[in-house]
Amino acid sequence: MLLSKLATLVTLELLSLSLSLYIYISGPWPSCGLKHTAVFPQESFLNPIVMASLRLALTCFLTPSPPKATENFHAANTEPPQKKQVFHASEIPEWMQWDPYIQHGYRTQLNSFKQCFLSLFYMHNESVNTWSHIVLEISFLILLLAIDYWIAQLPFKVPFSDMLAIQSYVAGTAGCLVFSAAFHTTNAHSPEVARAFLKLDYFGIVLTISTTCISVAYFTSTLQLAYILFTVLCAAMVFCITLDVGMDGARAGPWRATVFLLLAASDLAPIFHVGWNEGKCGLFRIPLDSLTVTCSSYAIGTLAYVTRFPERYWPGRFDLIVCPNIRCYTDCD
């Protein structure tokens, strides 16, 4: 195709040059018996201009257009390097370095609630902690609705106080999970925001422990009101203690765990009271199996939190899987 166009162009160029040269040199054209008149006068400068224009037009028409510059699809499709999202402990502010045994996977200071929320969708060393709380929170909210539905289907009317005692534990645990998930999502915002949400997280832990104790005290049927008020008083004292700045930080971790365990241990008082007064028959009204599992999980989680197991013995291997807060908060939840 290109060769044929080139041959046509050369032929037309030669033809136009020959015609222009003939007109320019020969002068007037002879015609049969007519007066010789110059169609294109020799002195006119129009002839070479017309021929040159003709050649230029033919050249532009027949010459193939240059190929368009092909885009570099590799360069076009290459996304700019993503902004770094997780950091080593040495790259983040000092106030965020809460565990010397967790080395990688930290978020840096974000200074934005939006960025804190978006951090839910990439992996860092709070992801497992946060999502475990969110999933459990949804589960407890579903359980709360299921219990309401189950109570409504019973053939007899359940006293409102009984229903409130049952639901208070579920609602308290769901509230704890909400507050804890909020803290672990926003604790990379700034020191002020992290401190405020940390106190909210402490309140959630106190809430779930106290509602557990209140539920047990209600069903012991021995000095119900006295033990419920005692639990509320202990919970208020523990929360006031945790509001102190000295209770924050890694160094105060064992003290916080001790305070929370003492609050949970207050739940044993009404149980011992029932056993003392009514013997084994009175203890049958209390779900001792569930309480044993709950208290054991509190103790195991607190022990792991205080000793920083397992990351203390295998630094760097559990950065994205195990955080110290997971053992304490999840088990307390």
Enter the tokens of residue 164. Answer: 């409130």
Count of other CB atoms within 10 angstroms of residue 233: 12
Residues 165, 170: Cα–Cα separation, whole Å: 9
Check whether the bond before 310 is cis (ω within 30° of 0).
yes
Q: Which residues pair with 106 in a beta bridge?
A: 87
Q: Which residues pair with 87 in a beta bridge?
A: 106
Residues 80, 265: Cα–Cα separation, whole Å: 56
Which residue, among 107, 108, 87, 100, has the nearest Cα to 249 in the 3D structure? 100
Q: Is the distance from CB of 216 to CB of 286 less than 8 angstroms?
A: yes
Residues 240, 246: Cα–Cα separation, whole Å: 12
Q: What is the CA radius of gyration of the chain?
A: 43
Q: Is 124 annotated as a binding residue?
A: no
Residues 113, 150: Cα–Cα separation, whole Å: 39
Enter the tokens of residue 314. Answer: 């295998």
Q: Is the distance from CB of 208 to CB of 332 less than 8 angstroms?
A: yes
Enumerate the known binding-site residues for Zn(2+): 184
Enumerate the known binding-site residues: 184
